[in-house]
Amino acid sequence: MAELLDRATAEEYASWFRALADPSRVQIVEYLARQGRPMSVGELVAAVGLAQSTVSQHLKILTEVRFVLVEPVGTARHYRINERCVACFPTAADVVMGRPSPPAGMSPHRAESQAFFGARAATWDTKYGDDLPAYAAAVGDAGMPTGGVVVDVGCGTGRALPALRAAVGPTGTIVGVDLTPEMLAVARERARDSRADLVLADAQQLPLADATVDAIFAAGLVMHLPDRDAGLRELARITRPGGRLVLFHPSGRAALAARKGYVLRPDDAMAEEPLRSAVEPAGWRLMTYDDPPHRFLAIATRAG
Ligand SMILES: C[S@@+](CC[C@H](N)C(=O)[O-])C[C@H]1O[C@@H](n2cnc3c(N)ncnc32)[C@H](O)[C@@H]1O
């Protein structure tokens, strides 16, 4: 018998459909998606012909499910379509209608991630190229073991690979893992120069044996895992006791939230206590937590 769509995915999709269960909101989303730029409430009021308070109420509902993102512009707020939803929503609609676009056996989350990052791979380095010194600094601070085996999980275009090679030295082993073929295609040149192997795989199902890795570097990955706890357990499985997990982002959480236009909640999954509560049952001990504006760096050690 065919398996039922899992409950977490069903709930997420239901929240998206609820947010669109109004013709004005459908019009606002369609207009923002077609315009493809941040717009003021005034512009949206003029386009849909409703009172400002009504448009603001609709925008509130759409931003809550993150169909629409808010950007502060001076003292005003501008609204833009969340490109990620543009990539994901058609997949959700297909899945609900029994026409899953992901290949058989692939979860909708995986297909959505691949669609989202696949569309961005070619321009990723142009857009975020200035961050490279931050990766080198983080790898330096993380104390990667000379001669060790290091896996960059969710390696993307391989921005951390040169710094990881410098850290482990000529005798170390580096593996870059990513779910998105287009990201790995861009990473190929850096991987060759850094003598790193690249593997197409899901962080939640790694093709690596138990306790074989000295350190994991994961930049911008954990928040994209559909089941963070299972992902942290899988990372622990491949890491030897005493090995380390380095979670990094080239912006602190507050700086990132301000840039992306969302409000940081105290129970945010990457806040120190929620993160500690997630990593410890998965087999890690959180040793370092650093979250200034210019970077996020958390380091955990494999217990046992
Ligand atoms: C925000 S990007 C960061 C890329 C890179 N680490 C960097 O800092 O430039 C997240 C990356 O994680 C990958 N990714 C998302 N979900 C994944 C999963 N379940 N397993 C492996 N990689 C995943 C995406 O394809 C993407 O390349």
| pTM of the predicted model as reported, rounded to 2 decimal places | 0.72
Whether residue 202 has pLDDT greater than 90:
yes
pLDDT at 103: 47
pLDDT at 15: 84
Which residue range forms the structural domain that includes residue 99?
7-106
Q: Are 67 and 56 in contact (CB under 8 A)?
A: no
* Cβ neighbours of residue 20 closer than 8 Å, sequence gap 6 or more: 26, 29, 67
**Ligand 1 contacts CB of residue 180 (under 6 A):** yes
Locate tokens 């491949």: which residue? 238
Quick one: tokens of 112? Answer: 């959505």
Quick one: tokens of 201? Answer: 């795989």
Quick one: tokens of 25? Answer: 């909101």
Residue identifier of the C-alpha nearest atom 12 of ligand 1: 154
**218 CA: nearest ligand 1 atom:** 6
**Ligand 1 contacts CB of residue 179 (under 6 A):** yes
What does the pLDDT look like over 40-53, one tens digit per residue?
999 999 999 999 99
Q: What is the DSSP letter of 99?
A: -
Same domain, 47 and 187: no
**Ligand 1 contacts CB of residue 175 (under 6 A):** no
Is 86 within the bounds of a domain? yes
**Ligand 1 contacts CB of residue 214 (under 6 A):** no
Same domain, 218 and 74: no
Ranges 4-8, 35-39, 114-118, 152-156: which has the least confidence: 4-8
Same domain, 100 and 135: no
Same domain, 88 and 154: no
Same domain, 155 and 291: yes
CATH code of the domain covering residue 255: 3.40.50.150
Dihedral-angle region of residue 242 (phi above 0 means left; psi in -120 to 50 means alpha; beta otherwise): left
Is 189 within the bounds of a domain? yes
Question: How confident is the prediction for the chain on average, in pLDDT?
Answer: 89
**117 CA: nearest ligand 1 atom:** 25
**Ligand 1 contacts CB of residue 184 (under 6 A):** no
Quick one: tokens of 27? Answer: 């019009």
pLDDT at 193: 96
Same domain, 12 and 69: yes
Which of 109, 113, 247 for mutating ligand 1's site (highest number of atoms within 8 Å of CB)? 113
Any idea of the CA torsion for 100, 106, 107, 113, to the nearest 10 degrees?
A: -100
Higher-confidence residue: 71 or 162? 162
Same domain, 162 and 293: yes
Same domain, 102 and 132: no
What does the pLDDT look like over 231-270, one tens digit per residue?
999 999 999 999 999 999 999 999 998 888 888 888 888 9
